[in-house]
Structure 1
């Protein structure tokens, strides 16, 4: 575990902050004040560590239902990243295979204050950009076999649904940050932005809200169900009994997750199976909300919602066991949480449509939810369709 205190970061040059969820009015003059980086091997509860570290540096999130005001001159808030493996650890589930990006921490919390003057624009490092061929961690046949294995587990009654995810990596030369930053421009990237550290960087184009605090309510917006963004694709998605059943199953899971940390009787589904567009795909999204229980803190909230239900399955802990047995490569930056937390503010996206860079490779992840009605070939094709816009923009 590494912690940078203010005296260790004050001398760093000020650069623009592009963290998903950061207050737009503050982005131009944010400066890093403190940083926590934690890996699974460090031990401990990442949810508790995040809340304790943030509180120690001026971001008290011990009671999310308590009104709080943003201080435009003091501590602004913090970027927060939690890997899927860290979320599984916090939830008491299987953490899965080792990450293909060992330089990337499993928990990152970066506290920001306000600078007196706007930060200078970020300039890419000199030199060109080259991205090599993508190499998948499993073949289409192996992916299809994993789908078949999930269907067998469903047939035995072990699970109802499991999300399986594949990984691919490509070598690169040049500065990866501009390439990762381009992902924010993808249509529907509600959580577009970047976060970086020594030897690693994340670029996100996620459309999915893992959890937010909005108008005094906890909100999650699970996405399940995908079709090509054509008129026929939209009609097919709306008419698909398989996709609707898969979607409703995850909505029920998210209702249960929020109920664990909500005021009794306050959980509701505000919107069900709304079809929205991300790049060249239609996706079905619902909105579930609840009033936070008295005294609910960030750590308890993270334990309740991480890893996200739409990228694990139902029941969640049983799905994590299946994922750990089937996926040959860890999820790294994918299927975790990334966003902003601050006084009176939580806004964390689920890191789907997300890429990571280490010293010499870019990494992407994509997958889908498997039910008894899933067709292995169709699931392989769906994962490829989700990854294609990310891969293309990284190569641009």
Structure 2
């Protein structure tokens, strides 16, 4: 339980800057109008409940191919759109999968949606960086524990229980000062397609996610799975392109994502638009594919969330079997990581996968990192890969320069 209030500026407002996935044309002028919250253990179907909340506020979530009324208002404010966050736990509930260990950040809802209007001005980060102090990171498992879990997954693959499983580790650190500037430094990391910060009552999350979980725009539904990582050097690029293990793992996840989209009612043939394209994220090469399908009929948000969550690139295949392995092996819940966060507008939806995502409660910062395990995985290399993914986040969080303007 979180005791007391953290030193956030405006803890109920998503300030400063824009929430993840928000249109750039909004120019960080978001003003929260209404909020939806659902926690693990609450009654009801979270996919249906959040869909009803968003539909009641004028967004076209019952038929994502339809354009909504952009002039819908609440009070004196015209509705801009909505931020939506879905935790990994909520994704498991939506998918009917096994739930793992409890989240280390229970103050953060498992589903959180905010209806926004526009204020008349953008906001700026406060100059609090000079008083910022971050303590030592405390991992939830040791490198030896992590390596042992890799071996356990490899044994499960050998038995034919699963083909690939994504294992994720957690670490936390105490802090002193306002965490919002630190979270905005995370959001500004290079390659952060969904860079942004979302806040609530006594908590905040910051994401530098480069990965599209699901996007609906111009009559198509798209997912962009990322799988495969190497240092962003010439040698690292060659190693990624030449790795049979990384390519096999990547193709298994692409096939899973194809199946997820094919399960949606109202979609046409699923196609792979791009396969194993190598892109850079904050000092790392990563392999990304693009999978899409046309919307030929009514597709609702609830069905989309059930099909896409939790994302295949952070679960494994088959998805439900992989999630059962994850629930048995990971000692700490995935919290805000490995879920979804993004934007629902009047004419599009764009949700990123919450990799490269950190959370702040009243006392600690929390971060997660991991990778996909196949039969050919080397335990030591998997531990090193997770550390490489976490390193840019920790560097950004530890910096002590004052906040800068957000445009």
Identify the TM-score tier after normalising by the shorter chain: over 0.9
The residue number in structure 2 matching 1:248 is 251
Q: Return the alpha-carbon distance in structure 2 between the equivalents of residues 24 and 184 of structure 1.
A: 14
Secondary structure, aligned partner of 1:41: coil
The residue number in structure 2 matching 1:257 is 260
Secondary structure, aligned partner of 2:106: coil
Question: Within 5 Å, which residues of 2 pair with 1:37-186?
Answer: 37-68=37-68, 70-71=70-71, 74-115=78-119, 117-123=120-126, 128-186=131-189
The residue number in structure 2 matching 1:189 is 192
For residues 242-280 of structure 1, give each alpha carbon's deviation from its aligned partner in whole angstroms, at most 9, with x where no partner exists: 100000000000000000115465210000000000111
The residue number in structure 1 matching 2:276 is 273
* CA shift in 2, pair 1:129/1:156, >3 Å: same
The answer to whether the 8 Å contact 1:213/1:346 transfers is: yes
The answer to whether the 8 Å contact 1:355/1:364 transfers is: yes
Match of 1:201 among 201, 204, 218: 204
Q: Return the alpha-carbon distance in structure 2 between the equivalents of residues 154 and 174 of structure 1.
A: 45
For residues 166-200 of structure 1, give each alpha carbon's deviation from its aligned partner in whole angstroms, at most 9, with x where no partner exists: 00000000000110011122111111000011111
| Structure 1 unaligned residues grouped into runs of 5+ | 1-11
The residue number in structure 2 matching 1:6 is none
* CA shift in 2, pair 1:246/1:62, >3 Å: same
Aligned-pair CA distance for 1:121: 2.7
Aligned-pair CA distance for 1:50: 1.1
TM-score by length of 1: 0.94
The answer to whether the 8 Å contact 1:261/1:293 transfers is: no
The residue number in structure 2 matching 1:367 is 370
The residue number in structure 1 matching 2:230 is 227
The answer to whether the 8 Å contact 1:69/1:344 transfers is: no
The residue number in structure 1 matching 2:392 is 389
Please say if 1:20 is aligned against 2:24. Answer: no
Secondary structure, aligned partner of 1:206: coil
Q: Return the alpha-carbon distance in structure 2 between the equivalents of residues 271 and 127 of structure 1.
A: 45
Q: Return the alpha-carbon distance in structure 2 between the equivalents of residues 26 and 101 of structure 1.
A: 30
Q: Return the alpha-carbon distance in structure 1 between the equivalents of residues 170 and 34 of structure 2.
A: 32
Aligned-pair CA distance for 1:17: 4.1
Secondary structure, aligned partner of 1:74: strand
* CA shift in 2, pair 1:203/1:28, >3 Å: closer
Q: Return the alpha-carbon distance in structure 2 between the equivalents of residues 217 and 13 of structure 1.
A: 32
For residues 226-246 of structure 1, give each alpha carbon's deviation from its aligned partner in whole angstroms, at most 9, with x where no partner exists: 111110110111011110000
Match of 1:239 among 242, 259, 263: 242
Q: Return the alpha-carbon distance in structure 1 between the equivalents of residues 268 and 53 of structure 2.
A: 32
Aligned-pair CA distance for 1:67: 3.5
The answer to whether the 8 Å contact 2:213/2:352 transfers is: yes
The residue number in structure 2 matching 1:8 is none
Q: Return the alpha-carbon distance in structure 2 between the equivalents of residues 120 and 165 of structure 1.
A: 35
